[in-house]
């Protein structure tokens, strides 16, 4: 099985967010996909199967399958543009979040994702305690958004991740497929953010495409701008170009290849055979 690791939302190796990308001939059992993602131990591993005119795409954290992932979609598109669909300018993916596309424009990749505008809600006590903050605004979408007053506040937050897991019950979220992002105006960009998803096995995600499905509508309304720039202020960090397009958002970035290789196919076949015999 062809396997790649791509650093996404960066133009330098060891920056941005590393995404695992696996090219499959057909789907393996879910257990095998999860085992590979757990072994890779990246925030997400993407799995792709080529169809007629598009690719099926799924994403797994080390713990669960998720319904939307930005950086691993961009990483997948980078691999396909550079090693498989070298003449393509647009790629189409069918996913749990519907049809997603990625366009190649010079050295930039632009993802077309669903907008997820957040709604203002009351402060969740578990969020304030987990992050050690008192003054904040709380918003809810499929992920949760916490607005702070400054970039320095975003940088200073040191979450208690076990406590942050308790947000699920207080916010009435149905499963572990959610994250909590914090955001504020940026000093050298329009806004900054960080993203935490301990319930899905990712304490802090380095750079998060899906978060910007929520952040772009919020900051567009607040700033009165459709086109913006953003930084995710994790240790690795990343830069994101943003555009609000009504029901959709455009998320732009760069990517670099870190690794290409093979995952042992014999191991996969043994897993498949074992699963089929048990069935």
The reply to whether 111 and 123 lie within a common domain is: no
Selection from 190, 193, 189 nearest residue 179 by Cα: 193
Q: What is the pLDDT of residue 264?
A: 87
- Distance linking the first and last C-alpha atoms of the chain: 24
The reply to whether 9 and 109 lie within a common domain is: yes
The answer to whether 131 and 155 are in contact (CB under 8 A) is no
The answer to whether 104 and 128 are in contact (CB under 8 A) is no
The answer to whether 186 and 223 are in contact (CB under 8 A) is no
Residue 274 belongs to domain spanning: 2-115+255-278
The reply to whether 272 and 228 lie within a common domain is: no
Q: Is the pTM of this model over 0.75?
A: yes
The answer to whether 73 and 57 are in contact (CB under 8 A) is yes
Output phi, psi for 56, to 5 deg.
-75, 140
pLDDT in tens, 127-173: 999 999 999 999 999 999 999 999 999 999 999 999 999 999 999 99
pLDDT in tens, 71-129: 999 999 999 999 999 999 999 999 999 999 999 999 999 999 999 999 999 999 999 99
Output phi, psi for 152, to 5 deg.
-60, -40
The bridge status of strand 119-121 relative to strand 137-140 is antiparallel
> Is a pLDDT exceeding 90 seen at residue 58?
yes
Known catalytic residues are 44
The reply to whether 69 and 135 lie within a common domain is: no
The reply to whether 268 and 229 lie within a common domain is: no
Provide the CATH number for the domain around residue 194. 3.10.310.10
The reply to whether 208 and 105 lie within a common domain is: no
Residue 262: HSE in the Cβ half-sphere, 13 Å Cα cutoff:
6
The reply to whether 182 and 128 lie within a common domain is: yes
The reply to whether 77 and 132 lie within a common domain is: no
Selection from 122, 46, 127, 34 nearest residue 91 by Cα: 46
Give the single-character DSSP code of 198: G
The answer to whether 190 and 225 are in contact (CB under 8 A) is yes
The reply to whether 242 and 131 lie within a common domain is: yes
The reply to whether 126 and 234 lie within a common domain is: yes
pLDDT in tens, 177-211: 999 999 999 999 999 999 999 999 999 999 999 99
What average pLDDT does this structure show over 248-271? 85
pLDDT in tens, 65-86: 999 999 999 999 999 999 999 9
The bridge status of strand 191-197 relative to strand 227-232 is parallel
CB atoms within 10 A of CB 120: 11
> Is a pLDDT exceeding 80 seen at residue 266?
no
The reply to whether 158 and 190 lie within a common domain is: yes
Task: Give residue for tokens 């943003």.
Answer: 242
The reply to whether 241 and 164 lie within a common domain is: yes
12 CB contacts (<8 Å, ≥6 apart)? 256
Total structural domains within the chain: 2
């Amino acid at each position: 099985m062809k396997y790649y690791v791509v650093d996404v939302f960066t133009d330098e190796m060891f920056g941005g967010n590393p995404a695992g990308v696996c090219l499959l001939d057909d789907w393996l059992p879910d257990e095998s996909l999860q085992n590979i993602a757990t072994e890779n131990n990246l925030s997400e591993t993407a799995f792709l199967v080529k169809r007629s005119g598009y690719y099926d795409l799924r994403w797994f954290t080390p713990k669960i399958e998720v319904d939307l992932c930005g950086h691993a979609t961009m990483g997948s598109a980078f691999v396909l543009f550079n090693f498989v669909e070298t003449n393509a300018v647009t790629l189409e993916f069918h996913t749990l979040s519907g049809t997603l596309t990625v366009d190649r424009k010079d050295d930039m990749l632009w993802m077309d994702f669903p907008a997820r505008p957040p709604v203002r809600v009351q402060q969740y006590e578990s969020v304030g305690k987990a992050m050690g903050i008192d003054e904040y605004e709380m918003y809810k979408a499929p992920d949760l958004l916490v607005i702070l007053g400054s970039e320095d506040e975003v940088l200073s937050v040191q979450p208690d991740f076990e406590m942050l897991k308790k947000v699920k019950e207080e916010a009435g979220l149905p499963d572990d497929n959610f994250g909590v992002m914090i955001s504020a105006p940026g000093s050298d960009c329009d806004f900054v953010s960080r993203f935490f998803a301990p319930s899905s096995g990712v304490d802090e995600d380095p750079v998060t495409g899906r978060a910007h499905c929520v952040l772009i509508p919020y900051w567009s309304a607040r700033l009165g701008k459709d086109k913006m720039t953003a930084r995710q202020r994790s240790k690795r960090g990343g830069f994101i170009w943003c555009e609000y397009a009504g029901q959709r958002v455009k998320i732009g970035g760069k990517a670099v290849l870190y690794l290409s290789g093979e995952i042992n196919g014999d191991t996969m076949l043994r897993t498949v055979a074992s699963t089929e015999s048990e069935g």
